[in-house]
Amino acid sequence: MKTFPCALAVAFLAGAVVAAFAADRTITQKGKMFSLTDVTVKKGETLVFVNDDNVAHNIYSTSPNNEFNLGSQLPGTSVPVTFDKTGDIDILCAIHPLMKMKVKVTN
């Protein structure tokens, strides 16, 4: 472990990230399933994708204006995704074909 002031700086930064997440909705992936399959968010809101499973997942969307690809997300990681444009989004896991959810982004 680094010296105390350095650890505190890391804690401070990490804590801020946690605080940012605390207000956003969480989607978990345990059991190779999304915890929610239909979500509505407002433009500019964030969903946090948590991999609490024991395998890696690779979540992506090719829906127009809301494309993204998280790449390989290892167990024990959380990634926030902010939806800046309205629309209907299909989110899938590239690895696990049964993992699907829909997000509706409204004004």
Partner 1 sequence: MRVGSVGGRGMTFNLRIAAAIAALPLIVGGVETAGLRSGAAAVVGQPISTVVPKGPPATIDQLRRDYKRPATIPFPADNPYTMAKVALGKALYFDTRLSGAYAQSCASCHNPGYGWGDGQPKGVGAGMKTLGRRSPTIINAAFGPIFMWDGRAASLEEQALGPIKTDVEMNMPLDHLMERLKVIAGYGPMFAAAFPNEVIKPEHVARAIATFERTVVSPQAPFDAWIEGDEKAISEQAKRGFALFNTKAGCNRCHSGWNFTDGSFHDIGLTSEDVGRGKFLPSIIKMQHAFKTPGLREIGRRGPYMHDGSLPSLEAVVDHYDTGGIDRPSRSDLIKPLALTASEKTDLVAFMWTLTGEVDPMTIPALPR
Q: Which residues bind to partner 1, rule: CB under 8 A?
A: 1, 7-8, 10-20, 23, 32, 46, 50-52, 54-56, 58, 60-61, 64-85, 89, 94-98
Nearest distance from C-beta of residue 34 to partner 1, angstroms: 15
Our CB check for partner 1 shows the closer of 14 and 25 to be: 14
The residues with which 49 forms a beta bridge, in sequence order, are: 27, 79
Length of the chain: 107
Our CB check for partner 1 shows the closer of 22 and 38 to be: 22
Our CB check for partner 1 shows the closer of 19 and 38 to be: 19
Nearest distance from C-beta of residue 45 to partner 1, angstroms: 11
Instruction: With beta carbons less than 8 A apart as the criterion, state whether 35 and 94 touch.
Output: no
Closest CA to 46 of 31, 74, 29, 24: 24
Our CB check for partner 1 shows the closer of 42 and 74 to be: 74
Please say whether the dihedral angle defined by the alpha carbons of residues 29, 71, 58 and 62, taken in this order, is positive or negative. Answer: positive
Nearest distance from C-beta of residue 9 to partner 1, angstroms: 9
